[in-house]
Amino acid sequence: MSLPSTFAPTFVLALLLVSGCSYFEVAEHNMPAGHGGSVEEMHDVMHDHGDDTPAIDGAPETRITADAMAFEPASLEFAIGEEHNLTLHSVDILHDLTIDEIDFHIAADAGEETTGGIVFEEAGTYLAYCAVPGHRQAGMEMQITVR
Ligand SMILES: [Cu+2]
């Protein structure tokens, strides 16, 4: 008996919640709060492990430029156990630098740079690449030698 009288208010409340929610999302997307959001969204699409690898305090830094589907330099060398920061500077569009074996990932949008720390515990040859769809296939790979 009481079903019709409770159904209507519940339905209206649900509508309000849904419309309130989507309005808030739209407003948030239109906020001029930098363009870091686009990189974060790409992360969510491309990776399930999310955020940039943090930098290591006080470690030496190597700068890497990403431009026109290539990394510069195209190869690097490190010692086993050496703490090092890699800074990725993207010139043209969103790029990232991914090293699967050490779960390393940093991304930089056009004109931005991002720094993340690396430590390799085992000697060998590692392949770093850009995980933005199509970029690795276009040649965005870098060889890292650890000895
Ligand atoms: Cu790229």
Residue 99 CA: distances (Å) to CA of 22, 120, 142? 37, 11, 10
- The alpha carbon of 93 and the centre of ligand 1 are apart by a number of angstroms equal to 7
| Residues 65 and 125 occupy one common structural domain | yes
| Residues 7 and 79 occupy one common structural domain | no
Q: Give residue-wise pLDDT tens across range 66-89.
A: 999 999 999 999 999 999 999 999
| Residues 54 and 109 occupy one common structural domain | yes
Could you give the CA distance from residue 86 to residue 29 in angstroms, rounded to a whole number? 31
Could you give the CA distance from residue 106 to residue 74 in angstroms, rounded to a whole number? 17
- The alpha carbon of 140 and the centre of ligand 1 are apart by a number of angstroms equal to 6
| Residues 20 and 64 occupy one common structural domain | no
Which tops the pLDDT comparison, 41 or 147? Answer: 147
Residue 40 within a domain: no
Tell me the β-bridge partners of 145: 77, 125
| Residues 61 and 106 occupy one common structural domain | yes
pLDDT at residue 49, rounded to an integer: 44
- Per-residue tokens: 145: 């030698």
Residue 131 within a domain: yes
| Residues 10 and 56 occupy one common structural domain | no
- The alpha carbon of 27 and the centre of ligand 1 are apart by a number of angstroms equal to 30
- The alpha carbon of 135 and the centre of ligand 1 are apart by a number of angstroms equal to 5
Domain CATH code at residue 79: 2.60.40.420
Nearest alpha carbon to residue 63 among 92, 84, 78, 40? 84
- The alpha carbon of 121 and the centre of ligand 1 are apart by a number of angstroms equal to 26
| Residues 100 and 56 occupy one common structural domain | yes
- The alpha carbon of 41 and the centre of ligand 1 are apart by a number of angstroms equal to 15
**For 109-117, what is the mean pLDDT?**
98
- The alpha carbon of 98 and the centre of ligand 1 are apart by a number of angstroms equal to 10
| Strand, coil or helix: 141 | strand
Q: How many domains does the chain have?
A: 2
pLDDT at residue 21, rounded to an integer: 39
| Residues 15 and 75 occupy one common structural domain | no
Q: Give residue-wise pLDDT tens across range 2-59.
A: 444 444 444 444 443 434 433 333 333 443 444 444 555 554 445 444 589 999 999 9
- The alpha carbon of 114 and the centre of ligand 1 are apart by a number of angstroms equal to 14
Residue 13 belongs to what domain range?
A: 3-33
